[in-house]
Chains A and B, each alone.
Chain A
């Protein structure tokens, strides 16, 4: 039974060896600095890219979370309506009733969000 996991073990080994190899080769052949300040670009996040535009820890407006939540609402609707549309004809009237029950609850949630001014972008 454990034989099946041999490839996984192999994969872990290869990954570890590759990383170790790169680090070791780098240490042997790379330019050596006594102090980090000799190479100031070494301490930037992207050693060979453009400079940072801003810090990544800035605060995000709470509104984005609301938009994300509303996105879930509509995303769910879309995801379930597509496969439903494919099989609706073969399932018959019960499918229509079921999808409308489902849509009803989404509409209730949407009314709630709308009345709470979640879409009111001031």
Chain B
């Protein structure tokens, strides 16, 4: 057994952070006792939250630095670890850095939010770190069981995170909805995995793909069962990335969850789940028995998702709900590039490019909402945003950047991402699909631009609420980093293209 711990240095340091966070918090009097009638918040919650925030924030930055420095040595070639259950090194390095980066941005957003909303911060960051650990192993997983375990490790803390503001009934509703539908999707995934295991006798993804390439093109029970297994696995993963018709949980959960949690869910979970979809299906599309079926399936689901997400987002008055539907639509754009991906690595690269760019865009959009939220004042509806440009010009400006990028206008990174995806569609001769998707991204522009119009050109009906500008630095760090990321990589996209290409090589 040749096991070099350097390849898992990111995971190891994250586990160490989790242990430290657990022990430090356990040594103090609990914010919420697990038992008894202590539903009230202990008075020192502010200092508790501050302590947990510092440990989690600094800790995660150290994890990222350690992985960035020591993991760099592994980025050359990739190795299989633990009996082909994890693939580490190579392009996965890029993916893990992107996921950890999303985690750091989330913690920066959470710092003030947990304080303002009296969320027990230690529990919050612990769950976030667990979810992050799951996402890290998920994008490296090489084995169907490992994929399932990582997916659960990523999702289960999120169910708890969504329900953490437990004294609010809307939060409870969204948490239980997410839990039940997430459980259902896991059941689908497991069913698919068991079909595949039954037909091939192996759980290692690459071996399964080798088996798939030998399936003959004529209709047989073998092809039927394998195809059914793949479809079930796709359904299970489509729940996580919220493709229509598996999207029903998205708007309610996004609206009910704390805004930083929503932003983490919409970027890190989605990117990791897409990485798995690519890992399983990028290869299987090459196989004669499945190529036409899955190409059409992906194109169909993606188009449905884009049409539904963009049309329903138009009528939303709540910005968080609007961003939820827009995130459904964006999952559709990423899924669009799955249709032609059997034939070229560029399509896989386009999906990953879009996924990494989407981290910055969504973090920025949700970050502005976090910026404008304080104690009893939620910033969620369009009225809350009306006319804020005069009072908060900075927030309005970066929100406009986010909206331009989400809408796919130059010079933002969203534009480059969309261009790449549509180029791949045209190269793959999916002309009709490309035209419909393009039309609906025009439709999408309406509600993105509407936010900017509301912010800049409308007079606020009531006085724009004052927000406490205390301890705003972490939020500004997120906003600033995301804005720079979007603008710089929108104008000079080649570094991000190289990174995503490197990652794509690992998945193809």
Contact = CB atoms under 8 A, between A and B. Distances in A.
A binds B: yes
Contacts of A113: 34
B35 A66 contact: yes
Given A1-B222, A2-B221, A111-B26, A117 B34 contact: yes
Interface string B201-228: 0000000000000000000011000000
A60 to B, nearest CB: 14
Interface residues of A, number: 19
Chain B interface residue number, banded: 10 to 19
Interface string A89-122: 0000000000000000100110111111110111
B36 interface: yes
Contacts of A32: none
Contact of A116 (B19, B23, B30): B30
A113 B23 CA distance: 11
Secondary structure of the A contact surface, majority rule:
helix
B80 interface: no
A102 to B, nearest CB: 12
A117 B33 contact: yes
A116 B33 CA distance: 6
A120 B27 contact: no
B200 interface: no
B34 A118 contact: yes
B118 interface: no
Between B19, B26, B27, B36, the greatest number of chain A beta carbons within 10 A of the residue's beta carbon is seen for B26
Given A66-B35, A116-B30, A117-B34, 11 more contacts: A1-B222, A109-B22, A111-B22, A111-B23, A112-B22, A115-B26, A116-B33, A117-B33, A120-B35, A121-B35, A122-B36
Interface of A: 1-2, 62-63, 66, 105, 108-109, 111-118, 120-122
30 contacts: A2-B221, A62-B35, A63-B35, A66-B34, A66-B35, A105-B19, A108-B19, A108-B22, A109-B22, A111-B23, A111-B26, A112-B22, A112-B23, A112-B25, A112-B26, A113-B34, A114-B26, A115-B26, A115-B27, A115-B30, A116-B26, A116-B30, A117-B33, A117-B35, A117-B36, A118-B34, A120-B33, A120-B36, A121-B35, A122-B36
